[in-house]
């Protein structure tokens, strides 16, 4: 219990202390933002800071900090440390960096930012990588709710078309098309703050229920408690993505960067939303650790419940901690939250493609040309195995975070700022991503004796290449200044 309270306090303190350090590092000022300067009434629309915070939270979170935290809790309470430190030192920095850089570059998507600071090759890689990732995310967040809605109606005695998963999948994809196509302030700006509040209420309801129903949150243990003996490194660091650091956030932050009226809103909107997500993840990890019994020092109870489906586990926890009210929140959460993240995933994909091919998004037809193929691709991908899509999303998600952090590092270097605030987490995430690729079952599935040293060496190589690039550019600039002086 004490460990949980300390981690919660550190997260809150991290927002006020380390978040301000990062804000001072980037130095927001009073220049006009893209929302004010461009203001096209579609994607560049000024909205209040409180609303931007709630929309950003919902966009980056959805069910990520719930499902990911529960999956991470299978390794034991060591997950508390990753959620806490990952959020403050990596996730918050990552989200702030991309959001701020986007504002400095006319609301540019993460792929365009990567091209500006890491070169055209990486820009092309990120364009393809981010679009594929976003379509996968949008598809995953359509298939899950569609299946759950049809199941719930069937359990209530419903029959016919209303119990058909494909019917609900079609409905969700049609909604995605509408939300992706119309101006951001019409649906997303009006209704998503409400769902953001529901996500927060749901988490705090669970937290209060843990205490009032007599559950005890165990203290942090660094031992591996996973029943299958799955290694903590790097598996837990990939499973708990949205609750610590997630590359998907790099695709979402530019959405709100196009709606901020001041750069000084970055601390609350980007870093603040990430810390809030970390708090939500910490609460759900604590719930998974407290409610389900361990057997022989292993988290067998939680793993068994998750085997019945993540939505089932969420429903069970809400019921045990909040009763009937919890059931309503659980249903709202596992259905509405993924849908609201899925549509912004497709919207982000539209913007990446628009930036890529320099397509003005103010005309209706221009948006149609992009939206229709994107949703068609999502419909095709939805026919693939859900589990396979999710596993590949997990790895590509953390790889995108790694690239975004290296991009931020180069931005800071070129602006004569202390780039170690981003270079250190970038190096860490490089080790996570490469190690996972070599040892994960859905990837190369090599022994950890091989994957671990490869991951460490790869991270060191990436850091070395970055330092070499900064030295090379420094020499070029020095030579130019000398010649100019002469």
pLDDT digits (tens, 9 = 90+) for 21-49: 999 999 999 999 999 999 999 999 999 99
Tokens of 462: 């990436």
- What average pLDDT score do residues 297-309 get? 90
Q: What tokens does 152 get?
A: 């719930």
Instruction: Give CA angle at 78 (75, 80), nearest 5°.
Output: 115
Kindly report, residue by residue over 82-91, the tens digit of the pLDDT.
999 999 999 9
Mean pLDDT of 310-333: 83
pLDDT, residue 54, reads 95
Least confident range from 85-94, 302-311, 391-400: namely: 391-400
283 CB-near residues (< 8 Å, 6+ apart): 69, 203, 204, 206, 207
Distance CA 333, CA 54 (A): 15
Residue 85, C-beta contacts closer than 8 angstroms, at least 6 positions apart: none
Q: What is the pLDDT of residues 52-83, one digit of tens each?
A: 999 999 999 877 888 889 999 999 999 999 99
Mean pLDDT value across residues 345-350: 92
pLDDT of residue 480: 42
pLDDT at 388: 61
Which residues on neighbouring strands pair with residue 298, listed in sequence order?
A: 295
Q: What is the mean pLDDT of the chain?
A: 90
What is the rounded distance in angstroms from the CA atom of residue 361 to the CA atom of residue 181?
10
pLDDT digits 0-9 by tens, 234-250: 999 998 988 899 999 99
Please give the DSSP secondary-structure letter assigned to residue 425: H
CATH number of the domain located at residue range(s) 2-398 in this protein: 1.20.1740.10
Residue 385: per-residue pLDDT: 65
pLDDT of residue 475: 59
> What pLDDT does 355 receive?
93
Phi, psi (rounded to 5 degrees) for 332: -65, -40
Percentage of residues in the chain having pLDDT higher than 90: 65
Classify 295 as helix, strand or coil: strand
Residue percentage of the chain with pLDDT more than 70: 95
Q: What is the mean pLDDT of residues 456-461?
A: 98
**Reduced to 3 DSSP states, what percent helix, strand and coil does the chain have, rounded to the nearest 5?**
75, 0, 20
Q: What is the average per-residue pLDDT within 168-182?
A: 90
Q: What does R_g of the chain's alpha carbons equal in angstroms?
A: 22
Q: CA neighbours within 13 Å on the CB side: how many for 334?
A: 23
pTM of this structure = 0.93
Does residue 481 register a pLDDT over 60? no
Instruction: Return the pLDDT at 478.
Output: 52
Q: Is 479 exposed, middle or buried (0-12, 13-18, 19+ CB in 10 A)?
A: exposed
CB 336 within 8 A of CB 198: yes
Per the model's pLDDT, the better-predicted residue between 403 and 308 turns out to be 403
């Amino acid at each position: 219990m004490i460990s949980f309270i300390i981690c919660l306090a550190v997260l809150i303190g991290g927002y006020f202390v380390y978040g301000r350090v990062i804000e001072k590092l980037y130095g927001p000022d009073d220049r006009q933002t893209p929302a004010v300067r461009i203001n096209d009434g579609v994607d560049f629309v000024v909205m209040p800071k409180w609303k931007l915070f709630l929309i950003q939270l919902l966009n980056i979170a959805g069910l990520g900090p719930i499902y990911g935290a529960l999956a991470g809790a299978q390794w034991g309470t060591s997950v508390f440390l990753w959620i806490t430190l990952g959020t403050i030192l990596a996730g918050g920095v990552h989200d702030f960096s991309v959001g701020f850089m986007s504002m400095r570059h006319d609301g540019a998507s993460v792929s365009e930012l990567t091209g500006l600071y890491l070169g055209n090759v990486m820009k092309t890689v990120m364009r393809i990588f981010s679009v594929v990732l976003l379509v996968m995310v949008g598809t995953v967040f359509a298939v899950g709710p569609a299946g759950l809605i049809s199941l719930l109606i069937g359990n209530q005695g419903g029959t016919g078309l209303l119990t058909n998963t494909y019917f609900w999948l079609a409905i969700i994809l049609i909604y995605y098309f509408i939300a992706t196509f119309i101006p951001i302030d019409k649906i997303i700006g009006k209704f998503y703050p409400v769902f953001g509040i529901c996500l927060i209420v749901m988490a705090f309801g669970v937290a209060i229920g843990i205490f009032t129903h007599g559950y005890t949150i165990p203290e942090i243990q660094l031992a591996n408690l996973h029943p299958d003996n799955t290694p903590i490194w790097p598996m837990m660091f990939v499973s708990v993505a949205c609750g610590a650091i997630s590359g998907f956030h790099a695709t979402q932050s530019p959405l709100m960067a196009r709606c901020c009226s001041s750069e000084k809103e970055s601390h609350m909107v980007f870093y603040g939303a990430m810390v809030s997500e970390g708090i939500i993840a910490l609460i759900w990890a604590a719930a998974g650790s407290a409610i389900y019994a361990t057997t022989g020092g292993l988290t067998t109870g939680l793993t068994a419940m998750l085997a019945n489906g993540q939505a089932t586990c969420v429903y069970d926890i809400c019921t045990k901690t909040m009763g009937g009210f919890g059931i309503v929140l659980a249903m709202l959460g596992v259905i509405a939250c993924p849908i609201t993240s899925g549509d912004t995933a497709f919207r982000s994909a539209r913007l990446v493609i628009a930036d890529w091919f320099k397509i003005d998004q103010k005309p209706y037809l221009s948006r149609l040309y992009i939206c229709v193929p994107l949703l068609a691709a999502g419909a095709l991908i939805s026919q693939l195995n859900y589990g396979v899509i999710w596993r590949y999303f997990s790895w590509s998600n953390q790889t995108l975070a790694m690239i975004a952090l290296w991009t931020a590092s180069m931005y800071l270097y070129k602006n004569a700022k202390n780039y170690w605030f981003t270079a250190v987490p970038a190096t860490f995430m490089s080790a996570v991503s490469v190690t996972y690729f070599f040892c994960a079952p859905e990837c190369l599935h090599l022994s950890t004796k091989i994957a671990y040293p490869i991951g460490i060496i790869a991270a060191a190589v990436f850091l070395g290449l970055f330092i070499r690039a900064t030295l090379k550019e420094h020499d070029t600039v020095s030579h130019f200044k000398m010649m100019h002086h002469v």
